[in-house]
Chains A and B, each alone.
Chain A
Amino acid sequence: MTDKSVDPLTERREMPDTPRDPSRRQWLRGAAAAAGGALVAGAASRAAAQDYNAGQGSMMFMEGHAHAMAGRVTEPGGAPADDEVAYKEFDLTFDLTEHELIPQVRFPVFSFNGQVPGPVFRVRENDWVKVRATNNTEEMHTIHWHGLDVPYTMDGVPMVTQDPIHPGETFVYRFQARPAGTRFYHCHWSTPLHMMSALHGAFIVEADDDPIRAAFPYERDYVLMLEAFDVEFTRNHINAVLAGMKRVNSLMAAGELSPTTHGFFKTYGDFTAAIDAGWRPPYSRGNAEGVQPDPKFFAINGKCYPATEKIGIRKGEYIRVRLINGGFISHHMHLHGHQFWQVAEDGNPLPQSLRLNTISIHPGKTADIVIYGDNPGFWTFHDHDVRHVMNNGVYPGGMLTMLAYEDMVDPPYVPSIAINE
């Protein structure tokens, strides 16, 4: 039961290590006032939204928004200054690269730091984190810190919490890493394309008093990013996006970008007024592309079987495996020969672990499992939706790897590679 006497905003403010940042408290009060209005009437809420000060919103609505964004460093409000807390600093870049899923299958992707998936963050709970995200592409991007309770100005939702990061721009994200657990990050701009291909990565927040490590004394842990790729969709849309952005960036540089050109509107009323004036939204009849991604390649950490990396274990060892669904379809990971424990979901420890041999990871979800090495051998670990264990329709492939005991002596049978059964 929820204790309704507790103001969740107030409670949130009192979480450990929350900075005593007056500016942050100020917008919490503003948010509380807005929430109160929302309870009165939805229509009133809409009217209130239209009354926001345009100067505090997207610069794209400002008069003559000609901006030389290349080289610009944007440091939004909402987090302590550099001299107020000790930040752990990281650099991320958005790049356009060509990625090989498996020999003979390469495709263009947007990537973090030129790799798929992006680099794994490992920080301690309540560390202050500063990430300088620089856009080296001609497309726009943001970073959403999925499952992390960051200030809203750091949440990375374009046109809701920030303007997208323009080509050549650096955006500085600052936040406190909490709560502990298996989290991830992904681009939130044009999410169907960008998150899938392939702007996603793991963000691991370690707790000093991790109950999972206390219950299962593991020393090694593995991060498995589960991915689904429609390489044709990606290729086509990156081509289309790059061509379109040439025009958008040109108009923006000339200060002539209009809301209808890019589909950005300050208010819902502006949106409907544009339609009344003749603008046709791209989802409408006769305008809609109507193409949905249909992935035919499935990967773990950017690689399809047999290019996937094995998971090593020794007899008598506990290992922790952090499963993250970085894509947009569900996966059902089955481990042969073992009953593992599911110990966390969405990064948060479960009150009681579950004994499983197959675990479903839906889009946006993470799950932590612990495997105990009690059955030496070579054990397949794969998505049991066998359509995802194929490379372009050829079995076996895709989301398949192996739990391999490293301390076996003279095993009676050793694995080889099958490409087409």
Chain B
Amino acid sequence: MIHLKSLLIGALGLVLVGGSARALEIDPQVAPEINFAGRALATTNYADKDLGAAGDDSGADVDVSDSSLVFGFSKYLFSDVDYGFATFGLSIPEDDSDLDDDMFLHQLQIGIGGPNSELMIGRSRLPANTLIQFPTVRDDDLLDFTHVANASSNREAEEDTIYGGQLRGTLYWPGTSFFSFAALTARVETDAANLGDTSRKSSTNLNGLSLGLAYDVPEAIKFDSGLRYAGVAIDLQQIDELSGTGEDELPALLGGLSYNLNDNPERAWAVDLQGIYNFGVSTPDLANSVTRARAKSWSLAAALRFARRPYLQTSWQAALTVAVKDHSDFDDAMLFAIAPSFAWRLGSGVEALAQYRYVANDDVLGVGLGLESSHEVLFGLSFAFDATFNETVGQRNAILNLEHDMLDNGPILGGH
């Protein structure tokens, strides 16, 4: 790990010394393809929490977190198969996040790609702390179960777990539906020796390594029964010891799959599964996010989805996600969640949403967290769009590329 980091820093140093601080000439008349995507997500939440010894707490709020805007730019290089791209994205953190900001720069990346590979540097979703996007309304709804937590940050901020700096290489091999990746990652760090200090110490320090391999066919193309996604990954975090005296390594293994249960595109059943095994390091308790992230654990999450698509256009989707996690080195430290959700398509990109979420913590964990269980109900609206201007670059996940060997590749931009 140290060697990798040293090599990388040396290489970047050479580039910076030898290169110019300004861009080389730009052809202003050669406009890039522009992808403009966004999602406004607003819900009314009602939560009823059993805080254990502290009693009960309940309340309602209006939540606009996870709303986002993403701008993507791409153009071909000196051939029509090699491309460059850049992405800028802003999202809204949760109101009680330790980020204390109204906006968070969750995407800022630059990359180049070719027929069989892609190299990206910048900030984005970490490549191997989750493999499956479960059908919950927000990213963090089951975060404890679905993501490898950031073991270097003691902030209460989902962004520290989901996003991070990275230098990522992706190899599309042995076929267009397969890819493998390797990434050096930079998770946010707070002071490990002083957990009470939740101020950000670094968001750029390379402190992790990720490797992964997956078979992946976009759901928009693969609708018939059978496997649509299968992937495995290793996520390795390099962490400062809580004693402040040294460093340790925290590996985690992930496996996931998505399987279409039938081949009726108007009534589609699908199941998503993911398991995470965190090898853990010695940790004294489960009282805060860093110690929980460092504790040995396993988690399983599964979702069953049904989409009603009359006229081949999704009208509504109902999903049930269940998840369980156990901190193996602690007794009574299991947690369980169930989250049925419903999305009703009011129009293109406009949806009415509803979700119920129940989370229960075992005694030890509940005491540490100060939360025995919680019920949350939310209703809301989502307005999402994904527009492309000056369309000149292909799409790697297009059917012509995936099934007809017509090289028409480009970055996978858009999304939210």
Q: Find out whether the CB atom of B400 lies under 8 angstroms from the CB atom of A251.
A: no
Closest chain B residue to A104, Cβ basis: B80
Closest chain B residue to A285, Cβ basis: B347
Q: Find out whether the CB atom of A248 lies under 8 angstroms from the CB atom of B312.
A: yes
Say if the beta carbon of A242 comes within 8 Å of chain B: yes
Say if the beta carbon of B399 comes within 8 Å of chain A: yes
Stretch at the interface among A45-53, A145-153, A194-202, A232-240: A232-240
Q: How far is the CB of B224 from chain A (nearest CB, A)?
A: 6
> Bound state CA distance, A109 and B392, in angstroms?
17
Q: Find out whether the CB atom of A250 lies under 8 angstroms from the CB atom of B312.
A: no
Q: Find out whether the CB atom of B394 lies under 8 angstroms from the CB atom of A243.
A: no
Q: Find out whether the CB atom of A244 lies under 8 angstroms from the CB atom of B312.
A: yes
Q: Find out whether the CB atom of A232 lies under 8 angstroms from the CB atom of B392.
A: yes
Stretch at the interface among A84-92, A157-165, A253-261, A297-305: A253-261
Among the interface residues A108, A238, A247, A251, which one has the most CB atoms of the partner chain B within 10 A? Answer: A247
CB within 8 Å of A: which of B65-87?
79-80
> Bound state CA distance, A250 and B398, in angstroms?
20
Partner of B80, one of A106, A236, A254: A106
A-chain residues with CB within 8 Å of residue B332 when the two chains form the complex: none
> Bound state CA distance, A239 and B399, in angstroms?
6
Contact bitstring B371-402, A, C-beta under 8 A = 1, else 0? 00000000000000000000110110011100
Closest chain A residue to B391, Cβ basis: A232
Q: How far is the CB of A353 from chain B (nearest CB, A)?
A: 45
Q: Find out whether the CB atom of B265 lies under 8 angstroms from the CB atom of A279.
A: no
B-chain residues with CB within 8 Å of residue A5 when the two chains form the complex: none
Q: Find out whether the CB atom of A239 lies under 8 angstroms from the CB atom of B400.
A: yes
Q: Mostly helix, strand, loop or mixed at chain B's interface? A: loop
A-chain residues with CB within 8 Å of residue B391 when the two chains form the complex: 232, 236
Q: How far is the CB of A93 from chain B (nearest CB, A)?
A: 16
Partner of A242, one of B265, B394, B400: B400
Q: Find out whether the CB atom of B404 lies under 8 angstroms from the CB atom of A108.
A: yes
Say if the beta carbon of A287 comes within 8 Å of chain B: yes
Q: How far is the CB of B392 from chain A (nearest CB, A)?
A: 7
Closest chain B residue to A232, Cβ basis: B391
A-chain residues with CB within 8 Å of residue B408 when the two chains form the complex: 108, 235
Partner of B348, one of A106, A244, A248, A286: A286
Q: How far is the CB of B218 from chain A (nearest CB, A)?
A: 9
Count A interface residues, CB 8 Å.
Answer: 27
Closest chain A residue to B78, Cβ basis: A104
Partner of B266, one of A235, A251, A287: A251
> Bound state CA distance, A235 and B224, in angstroms?
23
Q: Find out whether the CB atom of B265 lies under 8 angstroms from the CB atom of A250.
A: yes
> Bound state CA distance, A351 and B23, in angstroms?
66
- Chain B, interface size category, equals 20 to 34
Among the interface residues A250, A279, A287, which one has the most CB atoms of the partner chain B within 10 A? Answer: A250
CB within 8 Å of A: which of B303-322?
310-312
Q: Find out whether the CB atom of B311 lies under 8 angstroms from the CB atom of A261.
A: yes
Contact bitstring A272-301, B, C-beta under 8 A = 1, else 0? 000000011000001100000000000000
> Bound state CA distance, A286 and B223, in angstroms?
25
Say if the beta carbon of B329 comes within 8 Å of chain A: no
Q: Find out whether the CB atom of B310 lies under 8 angstroms from the CB atom of A96.
A: no
Given A250-B263, A286-B348, check contact A243 B220 (CB 8 Å): yes
A-chain residues with CB within 8 Å of residue B263 when the two chains form the complex: 250, 254
Say if the beta carbon of A246 comes within 8 Å of chain B: yes
CB within 8 Å of A: which of B324-374?
347-348
Q: How far is the CB of A261 from chain B (nearest CB, A)?
A: 6
Q: Find out whether the CB atom of A286 lies under 8 angstroms from the CB atom of B347.
A: yes
Say if the beta carbon of B53 comes within 8 Å of chain A: no
Q: Find out whether the CB atom of B264 lies under 8 angstroms from the CB atom of A256.
A: yes
Given A246-B223, A248-B312, A256-B264, check contact A108 B400 (CB 8 Å): yes
> Bound state CA distance, A261 and B310, in angstroms?
7
Q: Find out whether the CB atom of A254 lies under 8 angstroms from the CB atom of B399.
A: no
CB within 8 Å of A: which of B170-225?
220-221, 223-224
> Bound state CA distance, A190 and B153, in angstroms?
56
Say if the beta carbon of B11 comes within 8 Å of chain A: no
Q: Find out whether the CB atom of A246 lies under 8 angstroms from the CB atom of B221.
A: yes
Closest chain A residue to B224, Cβ basis: A250
Closest chain A residue to B267, Cβ basis: A256
B-chain residues with CB within 8 Å of residue A250 when the two chains form the complex: 223-224, 263-265
Contact bitstring B248-287, A, C-beta under 8 A = 1, else 0? 0000000000000001111000000000000000000000
> Bound state CA distance, A75 and B145, in angstroms?
60
Q: How far is the CB of A394 from chain B (nearest CB, A)?
A: 11
Contact bitstring B17-47, A, C-beta under 8 A = 1, else 0? 0000000000000000000000000000000
Q: Find out whether the CB atom of A260 lies under 8 angstroms from the CB atom of B310.
A: yes
Say if the beta carbon of B406 comes within 8 Å of chain A: yes
Q: Find out whether the CB atom of B400 lies under 8 angstroms from the CB atom of A254.
A: no
Q: Find out whether the CB atom of A254 lies under 8 angstroms from the CB atom of B394.
A: no
Say if the beta carbon of A270 comes within 8 Å of chain B: no
B-chain residues with CB within 8 Å of residue A242 when the two chains form the complex: 399-400, 403
A-chain residues with CB within 8 Å of residue B265 when the two chains form the complex: 246-247, 250-251
Closest 6 CB pairs between A and B?
Answer: A247-B265, A239-B398, A242-B399, A232-B391, A260-B311, A98-B406
5 A-B residue pairs with CB within 8 Å: A235-B400, A246-B223, A247-B312, A250-B265, A256-B266
For the complex with contacts A104-B79, A236-B391, A239-B398, 4 further pairs of A-B residues with Cβ separation under 8 Å are A108-B404, A247-B312, A250-B264, A287-B348
